[in-house]
Amino acid sequence: MKIEDLSIEEIYQKANIQSNLIDLQSKNKDRINSALNTLASITKNTNRRDALYALYGYYAIEAKSMDEIEFFFRATMYSYSFELYKLILIDLSKNKNVYRQKKFIHDFLYTFSAIIINCNETEINEVKAIIQNSVWGEKLKNKFFIKIEIEEF
């Protein structure tokens, strides 16, 4: 069977993620960004757990600062993975100065709210609890709560 005969979903399903894992270990930002984009696309289009776990692993090991978290988010923002965004939200909720990253927070909130539309009540309550227990000021907490409430309806 030729690649031309496969649908997009079949191509993603058959994709070997090994080369992307190697790229994630490189020091080259372009290769890392490309690998994260590819893994995010595979996750979005097939819900393959191995690609999602590779993203989790990279995030857990590499995302220590706000710049690294933002880099990761930008590279994976089209994965539309609730689990991945919740992981980022947990880290952001522990950072008191996250409000200074206005553009990043706006983009994160906008993209995360698009994911929340498809969530069940339990998942939404998890997100609300993370926000409520965050170290953020009330203004930022309310901004998140308002956006979540709008998306619920």
What's the token pair of residue 12?
Answer: 């993603």
Cα torsion at 36, 38, 40, 43 (round to 10°)? -140
Task: Print pLDDT tens along the chain (153 aa).
Answer: 566 666 766 766 677 788 888 999 998 999 999 999 989 988 888 878 888 899 999 999 998 889 999 999 999 988 888 889 998 999 999 988 888 888 999 899 888 888 888 888 899 899 999 999 999 889 888 888 888 777 655
Contact of 132 with 97, CB cutoff 8 Å? no
- pTM of structure: 0.81
d(CA 148, CA 136): 16
| Region at 85 (left for phi over 0; alpha for psi -120 to 50; beta for the rest) | alpha
Domain spans of the chain, in order of start: 1-65, 80-153
